[in-house]
Structure 1
Amino acid sequence: MQNTSSVNTRFLALITITATLGGFLFGFDTAVISGTIASVKQQYNLSALMEGWYVSSALLGSIAGVAISGWLGDRWGRKKVMLLSALLFGISAIGCAFAPDAFFLIVFRLIGGLGIGVASVICPMYIAELAPSHIRGKLVTYYQLAITIGILLAYFSNATIQSYAHNSSNSHIDWQQLLFHQEFWRGMFAAGIIPALIFVVMIAFIPESPRWLAMKKRTDEAKQVLTKILNAQQANTEINGIQASLQSETTETNKWSVFNGNMKKPIFIGILLAALSQFSGINAIIYYGPSILEKAGFQLGEALGGQVTIGIVNTLFTFVAIYMIDKKGRKPLLQWGIGGAVLSLLLAALFFALNITSQLVLVPIVLFIACFAFSFGPVTWVVITEIFPTKMRGEAVAISTISLWIANWVVGQFFPLMLHNVGASITFLVFALFSLYAFYLSWKKIPETKGKTLEEIELFWKNNK
C-alpha cells in the first residue's frame, strides 16, 4: 500500500480531471435529451414507439461504442481512444443542433452514443490503471461524480434555455433565432460543444496508461509514467508486480479467456451488476423525469425544475461515496444504498397506486436518487474496473459495460410503453424487484476489493476458482 505523501497529487489530479471529463460528457449527453423530448415529439409528431426510439438511439450507439472500445483500447491505447470519444461527442452536439429533420437528428444521436459508449469503458478503466491502490476507489468514483455533474448541468442548461426562449425577444441573427428561440431544443444540444472541445485539449497533457504500456512491452515508458505519480521505489515495486502478472497470464493463456477458468466469477459479477444498475430504473428517471412528474400533476416548467432537484441530489450524494468507498469498502456501500433504493421504489409505486398527485411524489424519487448516487452509480464503475486482469481488462470491462448499455437501452426504449400501458405504479414495482436481486448479489457474490492492488485482486480469483 502506498504512502499518501509519496503521491504526486497535482499530476494525479490532472489525469483524473481529464478522464472524468469523459464522464461529464457522458452525463450531459445522457440527460440533455430529457428537456428536448416534448418539443421534438411535437415538432416531428412522434408516436410513443418513435419517442422511445428517439431516446434509445443514442443507447444503441453506446452499445456499439462499448463493443469496439475494448478492442480499440487494447490496440491503440487508452489515451487515443479517449480522444476518439471526445471527437464523437463534439460531432454529435453540432449535428443535433443543426439537424434538418428527425432522421439526421437520430443519426447524430447515434454518433453521440458511440462517444458515450467508448468513454464509459475507457475513462474509468484509465483512472483505475493509474490510481494508487489506497485511493483507487475514490478516484474512479470521481468519474461517477462527473457523470452526475454533467446530468445536473444538462438540467440547468435545459431549464435556462427554455426560460430564455419563452421570455426573450426574437434575435436578428438567424442561427441564434433557430437555436435559442424558435426551436430552443437545438440550443440544448449545442451547449455540449464547449465541454467536448475542453476534453480534446486536455487529453494532450496526460500520459498513456502504464499497464497498457507494460502489456505492449514498453516497460521503460510505463516506469516513467509511474515515477511521475509515485516515488522511484514504489514505481519499481508496481512495475515488477505488473510484469509478474502479465507473465503469469501469458503462461495460462488457455484458461484465461473471458468466460472460462478464473474469469467465470468476475465476468458473472460484472455483467449482472452492470445490468441491474440500469434495471433499477435510474435512467427512466434521468430520461423521462419530466414525463413522470407530469403524471404526478406537475406542469412542464415545474417538471424541469423538479428534474434539477433530482440532479442536485444525485451530485451531492455521490460525495458520500467519494468519502466512504476507500474507508468502508465497496460491499457496505452497495448493501446500504441498494437496500434504500428498494424501499424508495416500493414507496414510489405505492404513491402512484394511490394516485397521489402532488410534490409528495418527489420524496421517494429523490430518496431513490440519493441511495443510487452513493452505491449503485459509483460502485458499479469501481468494481468492473478492478476485478479483471490487465490482459483481459479491456475486453472484460467492455463486455460488462455492454450489459449495462443493453439494459439501459431496454429501459429507454420500453419505459414509455410501460408507463402508458401498465402505469407508473407497476413500473416502479418492477424496478424494485430488480433492485432486490441486486441486493442479494452484493451480499453473497461480490468480494471486497478495498485497498488491494489490481494484481492482488487478480491473484484472489486465481486462488478462489
Structure 2
Amino acid sequence: MKQSTRYTVIVALIVALGGFLMGFDASVISGVVGFIEVEFELTKIQVGWSVSSLALTATFAMMLAGPLSDRIGRRPVLKIAAVLFGLSAVASAFAPNFLLLVVARMVGGLGVGAALIIAPMYIAEMAPAAMRGRMVSFNQLNIVIGISAAFFSNYLILTLGQTDVAWVETLRLGEWGWRWMLGIETLPAVLYLFALLFVPESPRWLAMQGRDDEARDVLNRVSDARQAELDLQAVKDSLEAEKKLGRVSIAALFQPSLKLVLTIGISVGILQQITGINSVFFYSPMIFEQSGIG
C-alpha cells in the first residue's frame, strides 16, 4: 500500500469514528429504557421522550452543521461533536432525574446530527476520486458497528452486574448498570477528540477560504504532486462555478432533470423509516422480553 493511500485510509477511519459514536449513542438507550422506567417511575410517553429526544435535536443539528462548517471549518465542527458526545455520556450517566436525562440525551443529539452530516462530507472532500466511494463507506460501516457495539456493551455490563466479583461490586455495575451503559461512551468520545487533533482540515474548505497553499499541502499527502494540482484546480473551478450560479431556490430541486433523482432519494429514505427498524434499535430488549424470547 502506498504511503498516500495508507494516510488517506487512516484519516478516513479516524473521521469515521463519528459514525461509530452516532450508532452507539442512538442504540445504547435500548438497554436503558427498562431500568429508567422503573427508577424514575416513567409513563409510556416519558419513555418515548427519553428515546426520541436525541433524534429531535439531531434534526436541528443536521440543518445547522453544514452552514457552521462552511464558516469555521469541517474539523472544528467534528471536534465540537466529539465534545458533545462526551458531555452527553457523562451527564446521562449522572442524571438524577428524568428531565436532566432527557436534556443530556438532547445534547448528544446535537453531536449525532453534526457527525452524521460532516463526517462523510469531510471524507468525500479529502479522499482522491478513485478512493472516494470506499472511504465514505467507512462512515456508514462504522454506524452499524457502533449500533452493534452498543448492544454488546449493554449485554456485557448487564451480565457482569449479576456476578459477585469484587471489582464489579466496587464499580456497582449491578446497581448502576444503566448509568454505566450510558457513561461508557465517554471513552470513544475522548478517543475521537484526541484523534481529530492529527487530521488536517478539508482541502475544499481551505480552498474556499483562499488558502490554496495549505489545500495543496493536504492534497499532496493523499496523492502525487501532479494529481494534487489537478484536484486543487478542480476544486477551485467547482467553487467558481458555484459562485457564478449564486443562490439557488428550493424550486430548482423540482426541475424535470432532478425530479426523478429527488423522488427516488426521498422514497428510499421514507421506506427505510417505515420498515420500523429504528423501533427495533431503540426497544429491542423490551420487544424480546414482552414476546417471551428474552
Q: TM-score, normalised by structure 2?
A: 0.92
* 1:286 equivalent in structure 2: 281
Distance in 1 between residues matched to 2:245 and 2:226, nearest whole Å: 29
The answer on whether the counterparts of 1:7 and 1:230 sit within 8 Å (CA) in structure 2 is no
| Change in 2 beyond 3 A, CA 1:182/1:130 | same
The answer on whether the counterparts of 1:25 and 1:147 sit within 8 Å (CA) in structure 2 is yes
Instruction: Identify the match of residue 238 of structure 1 among 212, 227, 231.
Output: 231
**Larger displacement relative to structure 2 (91-100 or 39-48):** 39-48
Instruction: Write out per-residue CA displacement over residues 10-61 of structure 1, whole angstroms, 9 at most, x where no aligned residue.
Output: 2112211111110111111111100001111111122222111110011112
Residue 193 of structure 2 aligns with an amino acid whose one-letter code is V
The answer on whether the counterparts of 1:25 and 1:195 sit within 8 Å (CA) in structure 2 is yes
* 1:20 equivalent in structure 2: 16
Distance in 2 between residues matched to 1:191 and 1:172, nearest whole Å: 15
Instruction: Identify the match of residue 252 of structure 2 among 256, 260, 276.
Output: 260
* 1:62 equivalent in structure 2: 58
Where in structure 1 do 4 or more consecutive aligned residues deviate above 4 Å?
A: 169-174, 261-272
Alignment of 1:119-198 (within 5 A): 119-168=115-164, 176-177=171-172, 180-198=173-191
The answer to whether 1:248 aligns with 2:248 is no
Distance in 1 between residues matched to 2:166 and 2:179, nearest whole Å: 16
Q: State, as a whole percentage, how many aligned pairs show the same letter.
A: 38
Distance in 1 between residues matched to 2:70 and 2:263, nearest whole Å: 22
Secondary structure of 2:130's partner? helix
Instruction: Write out per-residue CA displacement over residues 410-440 of structure 1, whole angstroms, 9 at most, x where no aligned residue.
Output: xxxxxxxxxxxxxxxxxxxxxxxxxxxxxxx
Q: 1:268, CA displacement in angstroms?
A: 5.5
The answer on whether the counterparts of 1:86 and 1:199 sit within 8 Å (CA) in structure 2 is yes
Q: 1:224, CA displacement in angstroms?
A: 1.2
Instruction: Write out per-residue CA displacement over residues 150-205 of structure 1, whole angstroms, 9 at most, x where no aligned residue.
Output: 1111111101111111222677987x22xx12131001011101000100100010
* 1:388 equivalent in structure 2: none
* 2:7 equivalent in structure 1: 11
The answer on whether the counterparts of 2:5 and 2:223 sit within 8 Å (CA) in structure 1 is no
The answer on whether the counterparts of 2:161 and 2:168 sit within 8 Å (CA) in structure 1 is no
**Larger displacement relative to structure 2 (277-286 or 83-92):** 277-286
Q: 1:274, CA displacement in angstroms?
A: 3.6
| Change in 2 beyond 3 A, CA 1:233/1:84 | same
Distance in 2 between residues matched to 1:268 and 1:222, nearest whole Å: 36
* 2:204 equivalent in structure 1: 211
Distance in 2 between residues matched to 1:14 and 1:6, nearest whole Å: 12
Residue 214 of structure 1 aligns with an amino acid whose one-letter code is A
Gap runs ≥5 in structure 2: none
Q: 1:295, CA displacement in angstroms?
A: 3.8
Q: 1:272, CA displacement in angstroms?
A: 4.6
The answer to whether 1:72 aligns with 2:71 is no
Q: 1:275, CA displacement in angstroms?
A: 4.2
Total equivalences in the alignment: 291
**RMSD between superposed Cα atoms in Å:** 2.2
Residue 38 of structure 1 aligns with an amino acid whose one-letter code is G
The answer on whether the counterparts of 1:258 and 1:267 sit within 8 Å (CA) in structure 2 is no
Distance in 2 between residues matched to 1:294 and 1:147, nearest whole Å: 25
Select the structure with the greater relative contact order (CA < 8 A; seq sep ≥ 6): 2
